[in-house]
Amino acid sequence: MERELAIELVRVTEVAALASAQWMGRGRKNEADGAATNAMRKMFDSISINGTVVIGEGEMDEAPMLYIGEKLGNALHPEVDVAVDPLEGTNILAKGLPNAMSVIAMADKGNLLHAPDMYMDKLAVGPRAAGKVHLDAPIEETLKIVAEANNKRVQDCVVIILERERHLGLIEEVRRAGARVRLIGDGDVGSAISTAFDDTGIDICAGIGGAPEGVIAAAALKCLGGEMQARLAPEDEEDYERCLKMGITDVKRILTMDDLVTGDDAIFSATGITDGELLRGVRFYGGERAETHSVVMRAKTGTIRFIRAVHMLTRKQYQIFTTAG
């Protein structure tokens, strides 16, 4: 992949963020997701790639655009796999809550796991604890390892977990171990990435969430030197069949970083839609002026760029991005 693609991808997440930000707090998550998806798909037409969506808005018969298998870009090369979540955190955006963002991961063709749309048990840690943890270890043991790696006491550590009934046992185990818990309503990708940045205060991301989001987060953690381990968690026979169709024959095995994102290169881009620990949300200032805050990173170089961009929009663009029907 060309290094210029990293900056090109920022343009894609920026426009998706601008389009969906108009729906913040309006309680209409489908409209918000549709706005982000439509804007992202249009912007991909200007990107010089021969891309294939491997993680997107659903199967071809479920999604009008950015569906799995859809071709993106306007060139023959490079051939790449693309994983997208135009609006990561539809519910939190609809409620006006923190940490909604637009995200993209990209790798050379064949290098992103074609994760089926089902649950996945995940464990994510930052660079200092990478290579030292195990998905099947008790959370008490994992906390001790991560605390030592991060030069903290266990009671200083924070584990971020989706607030779901299935996690009640995990939450209690973390509390018994003496660590702190950060519960979130949505936002699998941002939660995992936060473990790799000291200023977020998050040490571990644990629990069951979406498999597609797991792959996207793994691409980001590969760029950051962190680690994710995962295991698919099919709920029924239909889920098992979906795994088999995607070439995943052993659904019980632990998926490592190299299973989730193969090779030594990947690109990840995210633009904040609402304010979060890592990124600020979109700001509309009037006078056809808007501001976005993004992060883009590449595994091969280890470069991490935070980009604060001011967009001088045309009057028509500004009306589109600031008027929710």
Q: What is the pLDDT of residues 97-129, one digit of tens each?
A: 999 999 999 999 999 998 888 999 999 999 999
Report whether 294 contacts 309 (CB < 8 A): yes
Check whether 3 has a pLDDT greater than 70: no
**DSSP β-ladder status, 71-72 and 101-108:** unpaired
Strands (E) in 163-246, as ranges, are 180-184, 204-210, 227-233
Check whether 184 has a pLDDT greater than 90: yes
- Give the mean model confidence (pLDDT) for residues 188-199: 94
**Same domain for 161 and 88:** no
Check whether 205 has a pLDDT greater than 70: yes
Place of tokens 């953690």: 221
**Same domain for 250 and 123:** yes
Check whether 247 has a pLDDT greater than 80: no
Residue 218: which CATH number? 3.40.190.90
**Same domain for 272 and 246:** no
**Same domain for 210 and 125:** yes
Check whether 321 has a pLDDT greater than 80: no
Place of tokens 């008027």: 323
Strands (E) in the chain, as ranges, are 50-55, 71-72, 79-88, 101-108, 119-125, 158-162, 180-184, 204-210, 227-233, 267-272, 283-286, 289-298, 304-312
Check whether 252 has a pLDDT greater than 90: no
**Same domain for 314 and 249:** no
Report whether 274 contacts 281 (CB < 8 A): yes
As a whole number of angstroms, the distance between CA 171 and CA 179 comes to 10
What domain range includes position 240?
A: 119-260
Identify the CA nearest to 15 among candidates 115, 102, 133, 118: 102
**Same domain for 234 and 285:** no
As a whole number of angstroms, the distance between CA 265 and CA 215 comes to 14
- What is residue 245's predicted lDDT score, i.e. its pLDDT? 77
**Same domain for 241 and 155:** yes
Report whether 173 contacts 138 (CB < 8 A): yes
**Same domain for 249 and 150:** yes
Identify the CA nearest to 65 among candidates 33, 24, 113: 33
- What is residue 38's predicted lDDT score, i.e. its pLDDT? 94
Q: Which of 240, 260, 280 is the last residue of a domain?
A: 260
Check whether 61 has a pLDDT greater than 80: no
The number of domains in the chain is: 2
Identify residue 245 by its one-letter amino acid code.
K
- Give the mean model confidence (pLDDT) for residues 141-148: 98
**DSSP β-ladder status, 267-272 and 158-162:** unpaired
CA distances from 143 to 122, 154, 166, 291 (A): 15, 6, 20, 38
Q: Which of 218, 244, 260 is the last residue of a domain?
A: 260
Report pLDDT digits (tens) over 74-86. 998 899 999 999 9
